[in-house]
Every structure is written in structure tokens, then in C-alpha cells.
Chain A
């Protein structure tokens, strides 16, 4: 029954995809010090903001390991989507329909991305959006339940730099707050890179504030969220 279900959900699942899917790593509980933790920083471009309907158009990801970004090990791909119309987000991301049409088969792209992630926790700016998109797409494509923890860089930065004095700061606001020199923006890879650079700064700050592990950071984040709700 379960297997039937599986097939109905994703009728075109190929054998090779099934093998790769089975081999995907489960999330690994974080145990190392924060400074040595491997993170995958991800940024998605989508056909819109509706996490139930819209599609992922491209994925950009950067790995932070031992508090460094290896420039030669980044992930990026555009997903092949039929009938991709020119929408508002096309204007932002500047992925032309032709490129979307020429992209990688979505199943293959998602699997490659998950292989790149391995068992590491994920980071993103406004992570809940990227999380919902990926959970849904993985479910739609493979009925795969994505359980990797996501951490929101937008939250972490407000937690660690409460002196910012900005209302609802966006990624661009932080870029200018830290004086980051950004070489390119608004494509998934470049945005993932900027988010990762921001995270390098945050890791140092966390360390100086005595947050030694991902768990410490998690606890602080929960407290911060509670405080935010109380002040509202």
C-alpha cells in the first residue's frame, strides 16, 4: 500500500533516482563546537511566494565548515520547469524563461542538492520560507520527509547584534550595516554567498558571546523569540 502510494505521488520516479533517494543522509545531530560545525547556506529562487503552489526555479548553496567558506565547493543549479511564465519574481531574479526551460530535471536537481547537504543543518535568510518550499518540493517529488533543521540567519543576526536599530532589516540592510562588499546580488548563488559571509561574522560574534554549540545558539534563539513576542 505504502509503495503504491509512493508511486502515485511521484509517477516518473526513475530507478536511479530511487537509489539516490534511498542513500540520502539523515540529519546528523550537532555535537561539535559551533566554530567547527558544517552548515549549508541555501538560497532559493521561486516562481512566487506561495509555498503551497509556487515552484523552486533555482537553488544556490554554500558550505561553511570550520568557520570558512570554500570557494570551489558551491552548489548551484536551475531547475527545468514547463510553462514557466514571466512573473514578478522573474524580474527580481532575472532568470529568463529560456534558462528555466534549459535547466536540470527537477528531481535530479533536488537529489543533487540533498546529496550536497548531507546531514548538515541548513541556514538561510528568512529560513522558514526556504524550509517550507524544500519540504513541500521533496514531498511532492519523492514523498520524502525533509527533517533537516533550518536556522534563520535573519533571527541570528538580530539576536547577536541587538544594537542594530533597524526596523525589519533585510539582507541588504545587513550588508550595508557590516559594510560587506557584495560582488553580485539577486541570484541564488550570490545571495547564498552573501548570507554565508554574514554567517561567518555571526559565528565569531556567537563565540565571543559564549555560545559554544549549536544547542547554545538554539536556546538563545528561543529565548529571543519569546522576548520578541512579549514586546509586541
Chain B
């Protein structure tokens, strides 16, 4: 045995003991958690461990082509890039435990463009380039990760969100549900001598797609479905008086009531049938149709929207609210993005609000004044989650001040009823009284225009706050022309007012994203009940919403939706495309985390809150959240430059 072989053998157990710990450590982090053990073992055995005291350069551009792949075992590293000739240093990123670098430089066989510096005492695992390349060529998970970088992290995170949502859905909508639970109504039956036309009449009256033909003992003899009817009608000689027993399908397929939805789905697919009889002790106890099964999985948005639009009462709307919530659950389970989900919620909310207005008019009488229902804030931006305050107002057309006052008196009682009814439907009354029932928000177009112009001219703190609410306006019921004209007026007021733009920008950077210091992870609240939490709405979403609003209003963008505003700002050349994409992605990620949290709170019957404990997030989400906040920080920095704040 040669010396090195002897080492290899005796060393093996040591390697296994000490490597086991490193393996377990790596298995907490992507992509290592997706690599198989052989590859991971290869990685660890070829790694060396190095220590970098705080402030030490780990790799710098001057080092030349990168020779190692680095994984942070413990500690924190920041990237620093030199800006042009004046040698300004800009911190570009932060890397912490479980993360790796510099993949792009390694794959490009070049030096790094950024200096990687230890932000605190740091241990790194270093894999030499030859081993990196071997691993890269043999391990798919590792390759995918290396090539796709952060975008693959986002995919993974979305997958996790979906799995989680599917898990909670599972308890209610699993394919394991027993058929007896799913078949709610009594089966519709008749005896064999029933003539065809009577049988069809029965099916029509009962609104069913199948009829089971039974004997006196309720034993199924055959089944007659709409498909059979089509076949009969296609035959020119069909006699509508012939008994159903001559037309039915004999010996229908049946399952016991305790069989699962999955069993039924399987039978239907195999046999090309759309109905399964449920039979217990030889007697028919129910029928399951394909549609019963599909309603488990298929989201019938159109149906829900129609139900909302035709709801006969506010109580009915309240009930439908519950269905909207479960629809949102399922949307997330089916992989909808937060943007799709907020749009859907907005759509259904718009329908709900419209229906509430109509129901209130029916109940309390038409005020006889045509009006437009305006919404502001998140509702105006089409960014509502399920749980929001009301922010609304009324706009009407009046030719004089007297007429405006008279109209207002007619509209206000109705507006207050609408506000209350909306509260019943889950749109909470606005604490700041930003509601149409408030006489100051039930205005003619001229009055609105004066009010907006005052906000723009006198940029007091209060007015700046109003601007963040009112200037995201949108009409959702009644004629839209007035609202459009008002918005155009507003845009031209702001476009010519540099002072106001600057003030808006100043207030838009007040809510700093919660990234502590230069090197810290998140800056969390230090005291009280809200210790160790951060506010996703104020600290995470507001920097985007407010920052983008400043740019949109200053550049004549008519949309009030944040991502739509960003897209239009990109096409107008105000924001660079890459920046715009990053902002949209980051904004939606924060929104997605917030929606997940709200759903979880609703499920656990907790009061909903935008406060979250970042420590409760999984590692991946925490990392992406941090990157998202960093994008918010970049947006604010760009405002600082643009408006020279």
C-alpha cells in the first residue's frame, strides 16, 4: 500500500466525520440542498477552508482570472466597485452564510469586476477551478444554479409558495375526499317504463345531466345521460314516447360511497364516462359527475364574477367574499403571480363595489344625480389585497357652486349607505375618513380640480400625504370621462411644477427600506410588541409605490398601477429597462410575501398585519426579500440624484 493510499484509507473516517457536518451545513442552502450526495461529497472533499478577518480582500479585480469557487461558511462579505476615475467606492451587494461567488467571473474565466471584502470575520470554503468545472459538468442542479443565478432562486421560491398553498388546499380539496362528501344532492331517478320525453323533462326540471333508472328497490338498472340524449336525437326515427329502458346504458359503473374522488376520476378517464353511480348494499345512494370532480380543481372565475355582479343582496355578497378568498388560495396554488392575484382581487372588488352601489340605489332610491364612484390608494392602483380599507369619493358634474351644493346634499346620504354596506362586505371603514360619505370628498369636477390644484401649489406635509392617496385615483362606477379629464388636468399641473415634484420626491424617500447599516441583514424594530419585526407595507412596498408615483406623475404617465407605471416609464426612457424589470420583480416579491402572510393569518383566524418576522421566512425567501429591499434602496437613491435631494 502506498503512503497516499494509506492516508486515503485511514483518512476516510475522519473525512467522513468532519465532512458530515459540512455536508449537513451545505444541505440547508441552495443549490446544495438539491445536489445528490455523491456530488456534494465530491465538493466537500475537494474544498479547503480559509479564514478572512474583517476588512481583508478575498478576491479583487487585480488578482486576475478567478481560481476558486467560494462558499461562505460563516460571516459576511460585501462587494465594492470602483466608480470611474474619481475612485468612489460603491457597495454593490452583500453575501452571507450559505451563499457563493463569483460564478460569472469563474464561468467567464476572467477576473472579478468587484472587490469581495470580508465585512466581518469570515470563513469560506474554496473549491478549486478544476473541481468546480467537474462538478459543473456532472451535476445538473449545480449547473442550473450557476447558470441561472438569482432568477433560478426566484423560481424555487415560487415553487415553494405553490407547494405550501397546495398543502393547505389539500385538506379541503384533496383527491382523497370520499365521494359521499362530494355528492351532496339526492340522485334523480325514474323507472324503466318512463317515456323518453318525460325523462328529459325531469332532467331539465332538476337541472341534472344524468338520470339513473332504478327498480322498486332502488337498485340501479341503467343510466341515461345528456350524451345518450344526443345520440337518440341524432337518430331521425327517434320516438319520444318510447320507454327509457330501451335507450339507457345498462349496468352503469358504480363505486361504493367511501371510494375517493381519485378513484372516480380514474374510472371516468379509463371508461370515458362522465357519471359514476354510488351504490351501497345494492342500492343507489348518489351520483358523481365529472363536473363535481372538476369543481375541486378548476377555478371558475367567470362564474364567481357573474355571481357577484348579480348578487341579490349585500348578505349574498358577504358570502361570496369567502369564495373569493378560497379562489385566491387556489390561484396561488396554481402558480399565479402576485400581480395576477392582485389584478383578480381588484376585478372582483370592482364588481363587488359596483354591485353594492346598485343595491344601495335600489334600496334607498336613485338620488337623480349622475355620479362617478372614485377609488384612491391601493384600490386606485389596482393593488388591493383581500384586506383593505375603503378609500373612495364621488365625482359629479355641476355648472355652478349652488348646483354643486344641492347635488352633494342629494348624494351624501346614499354615499354613507354605500360606505356602510362596503364595510359589511369586508372593505373596512377608513379611519382617516377618506370616504365618499364625507362631504369634502363628494365633489363636482371643478371642486376636485381646485382641491388638487391646492395640493400641488401648497405642498404642506398634510397635502403631500393627500397626494399619495388622491393622485392614484380611478373611476370604477358611473361615467369615466370626468375622472379622465380630472387626471389630465392633474398631470399638467404637476408637470409644470418642479417644486412640487421635488417635495414629492423628498417625501417618497422618507420610508427607507429596512436594510440596517451597510452590512446588516434587516433592520428590525427594537422595542415593544413589534420587536424583531418589519413592516412590509410601509418599509417594503411604500418605497416603490411612492417613488414610482413621483416619476409617473412628473412624466405624464396616466396609469395609476405601480408596475404599469414602471413599464410606461421604461418605454418613455425615464427608467432603464433592466432597472425597471428589477423594480417590478422586487415589488411583486414583497407583495407576494405580504399576501402569503395575510392568507396565513386568515387561516389561523388572526388579525391581519403587515408586520412580519423575517426570521420566520425560509432562507431563500429571506435572501430574496433582502435583495428586493435593496432594489427599493436603489430606486430611492436614483430619486436623490434626479431631484438633487
Binding site for B on A (CB under 8 A): 60-62, 67-78, 104, 109, 112, 115-116, 178-181, 183-184, 187, 189-190, 193, 197, 200-201, 203-205, 208
Interface residue from B18, B51, B52, B74 paired with A71 (Cβ < 8 Å): B18
B10 at the interface (CB under 8 A from A): yes
Q: Contact: B51 with A112, CB < 8 Å?
A: no
A203–B20 Cα distance when bound, in Å, is 26
Partner of A77, one of B13, B22, B48, B51: B13
Interface of B: prevailing SS:
helix
Interchain nearest-CB distance for B138 vs A (Å):
17
User: Does B15 contact A183, Cβ atoms closer than 8 Å?
Assistant: no
Chain A residues whose CB sits within 8 angstroms of the CB of B21 once the complex forms: 183-184, 190
Q: Which residues of B contact A201 (CB under 8 A)?
A: 51, 53, 121
Q: Which of A72, A178, A193, A205 contacts B45 (CB 8 A)?
A: A72
Q: Does B24 contact A (CB under 8 A)?
A: yes
- Nearest to A199 among chain B residues (CB) is B51
In this complex, what residue of B is CB-closest to A205? Answer: B53
A71 and B49 contacting across the interface, CB-CB below 8 Å = yes
Q: Is the CB of A183 within 8 A of B14?
A: no
What are the 3 closest A-B residue pairs judged by CB atoms, nearest first?
Answer: A183-B21, A76-B14, A72-B45
A69–B51 CA distance with the chains assembled, in angstroms: 10
Residue contact A77 to B10, C-beta cutoff 8 Å: yes
Known: A71-B45, A183-B24, A184-B21. A112 touches B50 (CB 8 A): no
Q: Cβ of A70: which chain B residues have Cβ within 8 Å of it? A: 47-48
Distance in angstroms between the alpha carbons of A62 and B14 in the assembled complex: 9
Which residues of B from 338 to 378 have beta carbons under 8 Å from A? Answer: none
A and B contact pairs by CB, cutoff 8 A, 12 listed: A61-B14, A67-B50, A72-B44, A72-B45, A72-B47, A73-B11, A75-B11, A77-B14, A104-B10, A183-B18, A190-B18, A197-B49
B14 & A60 in contact (Cβ 8 Å cutoff): yes
Instruction: Report whether A189 and B18 are in contact in the complex, using a CB–CB cutoff of 8 Å.
Output: yes
Q: Which of A67, A76, A190, A204 contacts B10 (CB 8 A)?
A: A76
B604 located at the interface, meaning its Cβ lies under 8 Å from any Cβ of chain A in the complex: no
The minimal Cβ–Cβ distance linking A153 to chain B, given in whole angstroms, is: 14
A61–B45 Cα distance when bound, in Å, is 15
The reply to whether A68 and B10 form a contact with Cβ atoms under 8 Å apart is no
Q: Within 8 Å of chain A (Cβ to Cβ): is B271?
A: no
Contacts of A204 in B (CB 8 A): 51-53, 56
In the bound complex, CA of A200 to CA of B25 (Å):
20
- Tell me, in angstroms, the Cα distance from A156 to B47 when the chains sit together: 26
* CB closest residue in chain B, given A23: B3
Query: How does the 8 Å CB contact mask read for B3-27 relative to A, with 1 for contact and 0 for none?
Result: 1001100110111011111101100
- CB pair A116–B7 under 8 Å, yes or no, is yes
B279 contacts partner chain A, Cβ-Cβ < 8 Å: no
Q: Say yes or no: is B123 at the interface (Cβ < 8 Å to chain A).
A: yes
Give the interface size bracket for B toward A: 20 to 34
Report whether B22 and A183 are in contact in the complex, using a CB–CB cutoff of 8 Å.
Answer: yes
Contact A184 B10 (CB under 8 A): no
Residue from the set B11, B44, B123, B126 with the largest chain A CB neighbour count within 10 Å? B11
- How far does the alpha carbon of A183 sit from the alpha carbon of B21 in the complex, in Å? 5
B residues near A181, Cβ cutoff 8 Å = 25, 73-74
B388 at the interface (CB under 8 A from A): no
Among the interface residues A69, A178, A179, A180, which one has the most CB atoms of the partner chain B within 10 A?
A69
B409 sits at the interface (CB 8 A): no
- Are A184 and B18 in contact (CB-based, < 8 A)? yes
Question: A201 CA to B121 CA in the complex, in Å?
Answer: 9
Counting CB contacts under 8 A, is B46 at the interface?
yes
| Chain A minimum-CB-distance residue to B25 | A183
CB of A25, distance to nearest CB on chain B (Å): 11
- Do A74 and B14 touch across chains, with their CB atoms under 8 A apart? yes
Let me know if A71 and B22 touch, CB within 8 A. yes
Of A76, A116, A187, chain B has the most CB atoms within 10 Å of the CB of A76
Which residue of the partner chain A has the closest CB to B45? A72
> Residues 49-72 of chain B: 1 if any A CB is under 8 Å from the residue's CB, otherwise 0?
111110010000000000000000
Are A67 and B51 in touch, CB under 8 angstroms? yes
Interface contact A76-B13, CB-CB below 8 Å: yes
In the complex, chain B residues whose CB is within 8 Å of the CB of A60: 14, 17
Residue of A nearest to B6 (CB): A112
Query: Per a CB cutoff under 8 Å, which of A69, A75, A178 touches B49?
Result: A69
Which residue, of B10, B20, B22, B125, has the highest number of chain A Cβ atoms within 10 A?
B10
Q: Which residue of B lies closest to A208 (CB)?
A: B53
**Is the beta-carbon distance between A112 and B17 smaller than 8 angstroms?**
no
Known A-B contacts A104-B10, A183-B24, A190-B21; A197 and B51 likewise in contact (beta carbons under 8 Å)? yes
Given A74-B11, A75-B11, A77-B13 in contact, is the A180-B53 Cβ separation under 8 Å?
no
Bound Cα distance from A179 to B45, whole angstroms: 24
Task: Kindly supply a per-residue 1/0 record for chain B positions 128-166, scoring 1 wherever the CB is within 8 Å of any chain A CB and 0 otherwise.
Answer: 000000000000000000000000000000000000000
With a cutoff of 8 Å between Cβ atoms, the chain A residues found around residue B24 in the complex are 183
Cβ of A69 and Cβ of B10 under 8 Å apart? no
Q: What is the CB-to-nearest-CB distance from B131 to chain A, in angstroms, rounded to a whole number?
A: 10
Cα–Cα, bound, A201→B50 (Å): 9
Complex Cα distance, B19 from A67, in Å, reads 19
Closest-by-CB residue of A relative to B46 is A72
B73: A residues at CB distance < 8 A: 181
Closest to A178 in B: B121
CA distance A74 to B21 in the complex (A): 14
Please judge, given known A-B contacts A77-B10, A112-B6, whether A72 and B53 are in contact too, CB under 8 Å.
Answer: no
- A68 — which chain B residues lie within 8 A by C-beta? 48-50, 126
User: Would A112 and B10 count as touching, CB distance under 8 A?
Assistant: yes
Partner of B50, one of A62, A184, A200: A200
Most chain B CB within 10 A, of A74, A76, A112, A203, is at: A74
- The answer for the CA separation of A217 and B588 in the assembled complex, in Å, is 56
- Asked whether A71 lies within 8 Å of B44 as measured between CB atoms, the reply is yes
Look across to chain A and name the residue whose beta carbon is closest to the beta carbon of B74.
A181
**In the complex, chain A residues whose CB is within 8 Å of the CB of B52:** 204
Q: Which of A75, A183, A208: most chain B Cβ within 10 A?
A: A183
The answer on a CB contact under 8 Å between A75 and B7 is: yes
In the complex, how many angstroms separate the beta carbon of A206 from the nearest chain B beta carbon? Answer: 11
Min Cβ gap A201→B in Å is: 5
Using Cβ atoms and an 8 Å threshold, which residues of chain A touch B123?
Answer: 197, 200
| A residues less than 8 Å from B44 (CB atoms) | 71-72
Q: How far is the CB of A195 from chain B (nearest CB, A)?
A: 12
Asked if B48 contacts A115 (CB within 8 A), the reply is no
Cα of A98 to Cα of B44 in the assembled complex, Å: 30
Whether A184 contacts B53 by the Cβ 8 Å rule is no
Given contacts A184-B21, A201-B121, contact A189 B10 (CB under 8 A): no
**CA separation between A189 and B74, bound complex, in Å?**
20
Q: Is the Cβ of B19 less than 8 Å from the Cβ of A71?
A: yes
Distance (whole angstroms) from the CB of A197 to the closest CB of chain B = 7
Do A69 and B17 touch across chains, with their CB atoms under 8 A apart?
A: no
Q: Which residue of B lies closest to A60 (CB)?
A: B14
Known: A61-B14, A72-B15, A183-B21. 19 other contacts (CB 8 A): A68-B48, A69-B48, A69-B49, A70-B48, A71-B48, A72-B45, A73-B11, A74-B11, A76-B10, A116-B10, A178-B121, A179-B74, A181-B73, A183-B20, A183-B22, A189-B14, A190-B17, A200-B50, A201-B53
Best-surrounded residue of A70, A72, A181 (most CB of chain B within 10 A):
A72
Bits for B312-341, please: 1 = Cβ < 8 Å to A, else 0.
Answer: 000000000000000000000000000000
Residues on B with beta carbons closer than 8 Å to the beta carbon of A72? 11, 15, 44-47
CB distance from B40 to the nearest CB of A (A): 12
For residues 68 through 124 of chain B, which have their beta carbon under 8 Å from a beta carbon of chain A?
73-74, 121, 123
Q: Which of A74, A189, A200 makes the CB contact (< 8 A) with B51?
A: A200
Chain A residues with CB under 8 A of B22:
71, 183
A173 to B48, CA, bound (A): 25
Shortest CB-to-CB span from A84 to chain B, Å, is 18
Which among B6, B25, B46 is the interface contact of A115 at CB below 8 angstroms?
B6
Contacts of B3 in A (CB 8 A): 115
